[in-house]
């Protein structure tokens, strides 16, 4: 994640409109992080996080059902339960 100062944004506001990755806005006088700005264009980060297992990752439409299945599988392995 890149960081940028408030003054740079005031000089060139187009930095925010052309954003492709999240940036941290920093107040250089106080040396504090003021905000984190995320781009508006949505893209899946699964492929970038998957690394070498990129081909094995499946996309999920219903997150809640996937969580339930993973929980059932974990309980099954831990306690010997079958559903």
State pLDDT tens for residues 14-54.
888 788 888 899 988 888 999 998 887 666 666 677 777 77
* Residue 12 DSSP one-character state: -
Q: Name the more confident of 58 and 62.
A: 62
Q: What distance separates the 2 farthest-apart alpha carbons in the chain?
A: 62
Tell me the C-alpha distance between 17 and 71, whole Å.
Answer: 41
Q: Which residues contact 43 (CB under 8 A, 6 or more apart)?
A: none
The domain made up of 1-52 is a member of CATH 1.10.10: no
Tallying the residues shown for the chain, one arrives at 83
């Amino acid at each position: 994640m890149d960081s940028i100062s408030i003054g740079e944004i005031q000089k060139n506001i187009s930095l925010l409109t052309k954003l492709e990755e999240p940036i941290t806005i920093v107040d250089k006088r106080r040396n504090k992080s003021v905000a984190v700005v995320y781009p508006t264009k949505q893209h899946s980060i699964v492929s970038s996080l998957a690394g070498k297992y990129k081909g094995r990752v499946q996309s999920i439409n219903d997150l809640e059902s996937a969580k339930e299945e993973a929980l059932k599988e974990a309980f099954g392995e831990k306690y010997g339960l079958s559903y």
